[in-house]
Structure 1
Amino acid sequence: MAIESMTGFARAAGTAGIHGWAWEIRSVNGRGLDLRVRVPPGLELLAEAARKRLSGAFSRGTLHVNLAVTSDAGPPRPRINEAVLVALLEAVRKLPGAAGIAPPTYDGLLGIRGVVDYAEEAQDALAALEKPALAGLEAAADALKDARAGEGRALETIIRGHLATIARLTGEAEAHPARSNDAIRARIAAQVEALLGASGGLDPQRLHQEAALIAVRADIREEIDRLHAHVTALRELLDTGGPIGRKLDFLSQEFGREASTLCAKANDPGLSRIGLELRTVVDQMREQVQNVE
């Protein structure tokens, strides 16, 4: 299964009788799945259908979903339900004055569901729109899936390229001459000799013990082993595919920690350069990983 990006755009449009309709879906990065659906009044069922369809197709991303409807017959004729409006006014009038509620205004009352509806013929035309608009929703969802999959393929190529660079740099750090026993021994001996020359009161045996401890703490064997393990784990995740963005992000953080520790432990300019390159590539990879579903 391939990976998918969280970004994409899709549009589907059509007509039904006197009405034209158009779905537009814009998808951007998100920590989870956030569906923001807008439909015209009277088509709330389509909003619920959109939420159900898209929540079944996607697991992450912020999706802005909009249904636009046009009509050759002009705007629908509103009708005020006077009985409901009078009942609301009477209910507000009976409230005690201590309630602290401002007097009702018509613009506020007209915004309450049920106070304003539309002419029956307009409602019938909207009802006839539901079936073709639902089909359009399916087409838009499929198109968005394809768009996110296409960008996912491009992301996978970039991430695998960064991963190959990380593997190469890890191998260079592992094989660096500064990690050889002779190099470490010579470096420690030079440091001990310099300290002894600076002060004749230092205990040579104690100095050698401290130098050995420093050498152990400065060894980057564990960091190299973990970097190799993370490279293998991330490649396996990419091979598995699916909604793996959170796991990829976690592994990217682990890469960053190991690269930072390698830099801190590096006791040679060459190793420091490799560590800095590792950190740069890891940061670049994580930027791409955060786009993955």
Structure 2
Amino acid sequence: MAVYSMTGYASASSQAQVSPGDEAPARGAGVTVELRSVNSRFLDLAFRMPDELRALEPSLRELLTARLRRGKIELRLNTQRDADAAWPQPQPDQLNRLARLESTVQGWLPKAQPLSVHEALQWCKGNAAAERLDEAALAAARTCVEGLIEARAREGERLVAILMERIVKLRELAAQAAPLVPQVVQRQQERFLERWQQALEAAGAAQSMSADALRERALSEAAAYALRIDVAEELSRLSAHLDEIERLLRAGGEIGKRLDFLIQELHREANTLGSKASALELTQISVEMKVLVEQMREQVQNIE
């Protein structure tokens, strides 16, 4: 199953079908639908369309909610008509009705001016063209939604590649950190021995403590220190989180919220690693890990 980004764009156009016996009004009438999508915690829909097609909003909303789960989606719907469509051929019933209305008005208002050709054509437009555009608008919207899904899938593939690359780098950093702890403990043990010896010599008590006792005390201090800086548990949990993220990316589907939670856990482990680090090498590894995790967070926020 694919991984979908919440970022994408698509557009589609459709021409109105010619109605039987009424070819002129439908000629040249068409609809263009544009869909823009950005990341959002939930599915947030916004519609920009002419008032004549506002009645289509429930159908368009149903179409979008059936195919999309998350994202801030803006749908723009525009109509186009050429000169013939803008000035349709008046129908006889329309002209008869208009003549009767004009006669009635002039009967009551003798000084009223007769209708001009422009006014008559404007009146004869009616709502017939808008009605014929409904199907064209829905057809364009369906095509546009499929285009948006394809665009989001392509962007999702790019995000997966970026996240997989970051996972590899985090594993490399974890592998570098694991052998550093014993080395740090060994260096600290040597420092303890040296400092104890210096302290005893300064106090004139070098002879009062045997070499074995001195070593035992240093080893005890080093063991306590090793417990404080042990990051094996953090590295183990970090590896487990990376395994789960990789599994989700390969499985695909609606994984954005689960990935967001796992990224928080990765950040927690990297922070703990940094707080326990007493060596410059471990501190640098922790900083690099947090940079990579933050980069992953930015990408995961765009995944559906």
TM-score between the two structures when normalised by the length of structure 1: 0.76
Taking the TM superposition and a 5 Å limit, the aligned residue runs for 1:64-143 are 64-72=74-82, 73-74=85-86, 121-143=125-147
Larger Rg: 2
- 1:248 aligned onto 2:259: yes
**Aligned pair in 2 of structure 1 residues 157, 190: CA closer, same or farther (>3 Å)?**
farther
Task: Look up the SS of the partner of 1:43 in the other structure.
Answer: helix
CA distance in 2, matches of 1:237, 1:124: 51
2:9 partner amino acid: F
CA distance in 2, matches of 1:257, 1:128: 58
Task: Look up the SS of the partner of 2:303 in the other structure.
Answer: coil
2:257 partner amino acid: R
Task: Look up the SS of the partner of 1:42 in the other structure.
Answer: helix
Q: CA RMSD in A?
A: 2.9
Partner of 2:157: 153
Contact 2:185 2:226 in 1 (8 A): no
Task: Look up the SS of the partner of 2:74 in the other structure.
Answer: strand
Deviation at 1:242, TM superposition (A): 0.8
- 1:32 aligned onto 2:42: yes
Partner of 2:211: none
Partner of 2:100: none
- 1:219 aligned onto 2:214: no
Among residues 31, 41, 47, which one is paired with 2:51 in the alignment? 41
**Aligned pair in 2 of structure 1 residues 190, 59: CA closer, same or farther (>3 Å)?**
farther
Deviation at 1:144, TM superposition (A): 0.2
- Structure 1: give runs of 5+ residues left out of the alignment: 77-117
Contact 1:177 1:183 in 2 (8 A): no
2:254 partner amino acid: P
Partner of 1:231: 242
Deviation at 1:189, TM superposition (A): 3.9
Partner of 1:115: none
- Structure 2: give runs of 5+ residues left out of the alignment: 17-25, 89-121, 206-213
What percentage of residue pairs aligned between the two structures are identical? Answer: 38
Deviation at 1:235, TM superposition (A): 0.8
Partner of 1:60: 70
CA distance in 1, matches of 2:299, 2:181: 33
Task: Look up the SS of the partner of 2:6 in the other structure.
Answer: coil
Q: Which has the higher mean CA deviation after the structures are superposed, 177-186 or 14-23?
A: 177-186
Task: Look up the SS of the partner of 2:76 in the other structure.
Answer: strand
2:81 partner amino acid: S
CA distance in 2, matches of 1:142, 1:12: 10
- 1:166 aligned onto 2:166: no
CA distance in 1, matches of 2:301, 2:133: 39
Deviation at 1:4, TM superposition (A): 0.8
Contact 1:32 1:60 in 2 (8 A): yes
CA distance in 2, matches of 1:180, 1:124: 83
Residues 132-178 of structure 1: per-residue CA shift (max 9 Å, x gap): 22111110000000000001001100100001100111111112264
CA distance in 2, matches of 1:69, 1:143: 20
Deviation at 1:70, TM superposition (A): 2.6
2:280 partner amino acid: P
CA distance in 2, matches of 1:23, 1:196: 85
CA distance in 2, matches of 1:57, 1:198: 79
Task: Look up the SS of the partner of 2:52 in the other structure.
Answer: coil
2:277 partner amino acid: A
Contact 1:192 1:211 in 2 (8 A): no
**Aligned pair in 2 of structure 1 residues 57, 165: CA closer, same or farther (>3 Å)?**
same
Among residues 13, 19, 24, which one is paired with 2:29 in the alignment? 19
Q: Which has the higher mean CA deviation after the structures are superposed, 175-184 or 44-53?
A: 175-184
CA distance in 2, matches of 1:139, 1:191: 77
Task: Look up the SS of the partner of 1:243 in the other structure.
Answer: coil
Contact 1:21 1:133 in 2 (8 A): yes
